[in-house]
Every structure is written in C-alpha cells, then in structure tokens.
Amino acid sequence: MNRHTRKTVLDLVDHNAEEYPDLVATWDGDDQLTWAQYRDRARAIALMLLDLGVGKGDVVGLHLPNRVEHVLADIGAVMAGAIPSSYYNTLAADQLAYVAGDSAATVVITDVVQLPLWLAIQDQLPKLRHVLVLDLEPDAEDDQPPWVHRFEHLMDLAKTGLEHRRGELDRARRQVDPDEPLTIVYTSGTTGAPKGTIITHTAALWVMEEVNRQLVEFLGGPVPAGWTTVSYLPLAHVAERLFSHYQALARTITVTYVRETSKLPHLLPQIRPKLFLGVPRVWERVYGAIRERASTSKNPIKRLLINRAISVAREVGALRLTGGFRDWRTRIRHGFMNRLVYRKLRATLGMDQVVLAVSGAASLPVEVKAFFAGVGITIIEVYGMTETCAMLAASPLDAPRLGSVGKALKGIELKIAPDGEVIARGPNITPGYLHRPDATQEAIDPSGWLHTGDIGVLDDEGYLRITGRKKELINTASGKTISPANVELALSSASDLIGSVYVHGDDKPCLVALVTLDSGWPQWCAARGIQVENLAEATSNGRVRLEVARSVGAGNAVLSRVEQVKNWALLQREWSSETGELTPTMKLKRTVIAKRYRDDIEALYDPLTADAWTDE
C-alpha cells in the first residue's frame, strides 16, 4: 500500500465530516460544533498557519487548557503539513522555554492567561516567529509586540478564504505521510530533561484500531457513533491525547471539554459519559471522598450504612477480579447494597452510563480497583508509555485481574529481560526522540526492542504485573533491592489526608520517608473540627500527625520487614509541578527531592538506634 492510500488522522476527520456532518463533535461550555463545523474550523486554522509561513515539518506549539480550540489547532497544524506539540499549562518559565526551544516551535497558540510567560521567554526562542493569543481583547492587541496576534482576528480572516483556497489546503494535505510525525509529546522528565517523543500517524491509528477491536468484541458489535466522553486531563499527556482526541476522531465520539478540573464532579452527572479515563489519583480521590463522607456523617445510621456498603463493595469487587466464589449471603448483601446505595452512587458520580472506565499512567491501588468493581464500575487498567503511544498492554474488558495491568495488545511482543525489565516490540513504538539519537539508542536496541525501564512479571496466562522502576530501585546497604513506588503507595493509600510520599534508602541500612499532606487537608480538618489557619498549623497539629502516623503504620503492616520505613517526617510544604518536586503528570522527581531535602533525609537517620537500623 503506498503513501497516498494509507490512512492518516486527517482521513478520520474527513470521514466524520462527510458521514456524520450534523452529529455533535464537541461541547465546550454551552458551545457545540458538529463534525462538519469541526473540519471547517480546522481548515481555517490551517490557512491561518500557512499565511504565517508555516511549512512542512515546522512545529506549532499549543499551550492551552482543554478547550475545543486546542484540538482544532492540533488538526489544523497537521492539515498545514506541520507538527503540533502540546505543552503542559503548569510549566514554569524555564521549563516552557526548554520544550519550546527543543521542539523549535515557529508558531505558538496560547491564551491570554499564559501570554505573560511567552513575553518573558521570547528572547530565548530564536525560532519563534509568531504567538497567537486566544481571548485577547481587540483593543489590547495594539499594546503587544508585533509578533503577538489576536487568534480570533486571524481566524475570521482565514474563514473568508475557505471556499476559494481549497487548492492550497489540498496541496498541503498531500504532503502528510502516515509514517511521519503526527505530534511530538514530551516525556514527564522524572530523571532529567523531558524528551520530545515522536508519535506517527501509523502508531496512533494502530493503537486506536486495537482498542476498537477489543470494544467490538466486548459489545458484540461496533461502537455507536455519538458516544460521549470528557477531556479534562492535560492534552500534553499522550494518554489523554489518545483517549479523548484521537479516539474521538476514530470512533465519532462526542467530547465535552472541561477547562477547569474542579468543575468535573458537577459536570459528569450532566454528561453521563460512555467512556471515562482517570489517572489513579482521580479514582483515589473519588474513593477518598466516599470514605470521608462515611467517617464524618452526623447521622449514625447513614454512617453505618455507607461504611458497610464500602466493605461489601471491596469484598465483592475483589472476588470478581480474582475469580473467587460468592456465596448466597454475599450475593444477597451485594444485591441489597446495589439497590440501596450503589445505583444511586453511580448516578451521583455521573458514571451510570459508563461502558469503558480506564486507569493508566501508574498502578491503581488494589483496594480502589476492588471497590469500584464492587459498585458496578469495572476499571480497566492499561499499561504503556509516551514511547508506545500510551499502550502496550490492557486488561481484557471481560476479564480484568486484580494487581495486573493486563495482557499485551495483539501484535505486541512483550517479554521480561534477564534483569527483570519489561521490553516490548511492535508497530506503535516511537521511531525515536527529537534531536536525541543518543537517548533513542539507549531506549531502543538494534533489534527493535524498547526497554521500558519498568520491572515486571508475566504470569502463565500472559497477565503483566509491574513491580517497580529499574532506575528507581533502592539498593540498601545490607544488599536488599526495594521498589520505592510500592512502599510509597502503601504508606499513602491508608489515609485520604496523605499526599505525595518519598521513600529514601540508597546505601542506607533502612528506609525513611518524607510525607506531605494532600491538597484537600483543609476540608479533612474542617470535617473533624480541627481549627487550623494554614499548612504550618496543620502539620503541627497533634490529631493531624496522629493520622499520618496511623497511615504510615497501616502501610508498614502490609509491607515486608525490609520494605518498612523506620522513620518519617511530615513536611510543611505541598509538592507540585510548579514547586519542582513533581512532574506535570504528578510523578516524583526523585533526584530533585533527594537533593533539595538532603538535610531533612539525613536528619531522619540520626535518631535511629542500632536495632532500628537492622532490616533482617
């Protein structure tokens, strides 16, 4: 098959506009676009970019929240023969300058909120020629430098040329090759500078077809056009980009864009999506909110009922996900709770219509996964990375398994290397990193095997379990090798008050931990009548510290002796991507934390006795 008959993502846009022109493609607030309007708007953006001198292979940077213009600009850039690259909205100025400079963006599309950042870093970006700004007031454009333009003004001009300039668009379209970049997605940068990962049309289309195959098998027929989903996670992350943007194009799905994640709980009951993607922290927070209600309700009967419902859900969910036997007593209890609690809960969450609930980017705590399965929302875990266009493995829709991220997608070779590392080979593997042949050679060996950096185990049925990160493994002074992620998850999941946890122990006889409070600490304290004015007061409060100690103790109780932390400190600081301890995808920047909190870490070892330092 030659390049002119093989599909690109633009073929999906054309199919939807021609087969479903009047079907709603997007909702953004109260505004909607049909698929015909979607294509026309994207074409207008393509003309706008062409008029600004954007050519084949140029990079167009997108620095926007989850709004319809983000994906229209993405597709418009591809129509112009360019390569879009989305940047996280949480990046600090130096981080933004790095990714924009590394990708050599010639045009950036942003909004008025982020404009000051671009004004601050423009002199560091010699390739950047134009910044197009959404929501800039018409009279404010005159006060800006000549390279800053009001997006809406240029868009209106481009719309007038749609009819008589189709030839230009067609010529640009014919340059788009399926094996060339569809987008550049930057890694989260947990161990160094983010790397620009090339995602091709071929890779994205292959993954979407594999997802569709599984859905068709599960449903017993094709996915109906007009199914709904929401887009609220950053589109700079490959999982959200694949799930809500590309998959919507492939399956003609209506997407509601949520610009502020705080509004998601209010909007979900109105949208009632068929498809929903949540990273583990989202599922944990929903579960935590339910547990919080159970523990703080003033009505003792309601408190007892909710606590019992949670217990039954966890029990039944675990049995479902392990193939365990449910006796008649369990079935009766579960049926009663479904009628009285779970049905109402699903509707309240806005998930009573969900057919496919997905979790990815990190391991989902077993307790959380079991609970949701018990209330009737079976979460399918997927495993992948930026370099694999989000997916390598997925739990079978009809047979997810507790503690596993599923089986390899059909067409993917997945195996465990002698050192325990998960390696993979398949049609969705990136051709490499932008400007980084050294990093590409390190990640992909001459035989085409991608070295994921994850440590895992494959069972006899092909289910994969991830046990840690190769570069993050702690080697203690006594020769024990420990995955810190497993310990951190155990310590934090026992309480909704706990936020990020960092475990340290390299070349030390035992583990210690730095603990932070969850961003919801004010609500947690208020619900218990704890009067504190700020984070410093909260971390010094006796009841707060007692809860942290309880959570650490509960975590230690489920860990082996060598994995247990012997000392911990509660920090008077929240971690975020803005403060530098976390990546935009909420992963720990371990090297940053180890360096920044070196004195705090060393202080944790000072009071430990000889007995405490023994991990045997």
Q: What is the pLDDT of residues 259-288, one digit of tens each?
A: 998 899 999 999 999 999 998 888 988 888
pLDDT of amino acid 478:
65
Q: In what order do the strands lie in the sheet with 148-150?
A: 83-86, 59-63, 105-111, 130-134, 148-150
Evaluate whether 501 touches 590 at the Cβ level (below 8 Å).
no
**Cα 264 to Cα 246: distance, rounded to the nearest angstrom:** 21
Q: Compute CA 269 distance to the chain's CA centroid, rounded to the nearest angstrom.
A: 22
**Cα 281 to Cα 552: distance, rounded to the nearest angstrom:** 19
Q: Examine the pLDDT at 614 and tell me if it is beyond 70.
A: no
* 401 vs 274, higher pLDDT: 274
Q: Examine the pLDDT at 38 and tell me if it is beyond 80.
A: yes
Residue whose token pair is 């953006």:
45
Evaluate whether 187 touches 87 at the Cβ level (below 8 Å).
no
User: Can you identify the CATH homologous superfamily of domain 266-470?
Assistant: ANL, N-terminal domain (3.40.50.12780)
Give start-end residues of each CATH 3.30.300.30 domain in the chain.
473-605
334-345 mean pLDDT: 91
* Band (191; pLDDT cuts 50, 70, 90): low
Mean confidence (pLDDT) of the chain = 90
Of 147-151, 289-293, 331-335, the range with the lowest mean pLDDT is: 289-293
Residues in the chain: 616
Q: Examine the pLDDT at 611 and tell me if it is beyond 60.
A: no
pLDDT of amino acid 46:
97
Evaluate whether 317 touches 237 at the Cβ level (below 8 Å).
no
- CA–CA distances in Å: residue 163 to residues 47, 69, 375: 11, 21, 53
- CA–CA distances in Å: residue 35 to residues 23, 64, 122: 6, 22, 36
> E strands, 178-243, where?
181-186, 196-200, 228-231
> Max Cα separation, the chain?
82
* Band (470; pLDDT cuts 50, 70, 90): confident
Give start-end residues of each CATH 3.40.50.980 domain in the chain.
9-178+247-258
Give the class (CATH, top level) of 473-605.
Answer: alpha beta
Enter the CATH code of domain 9-178+247-258: 3.40.50.980
Write the DSSP symbol of residue 339.
I
379-383 mean pLDDT: 91
**What's the half-sphere exposure (Cβ side, CA atoms, 13 Å) at 533?**
0
Most confident of 379-388, 491-500, 602-611: 379-388
Q: Examine the pLDDT at 388 and tell me if it is beyond 80.
A: yes
Q: Is 455 helix (H, G, I), strand (E, B) or coil?
A: strand
* Band (458; pLDDT cuts 50, 70, 90): very high
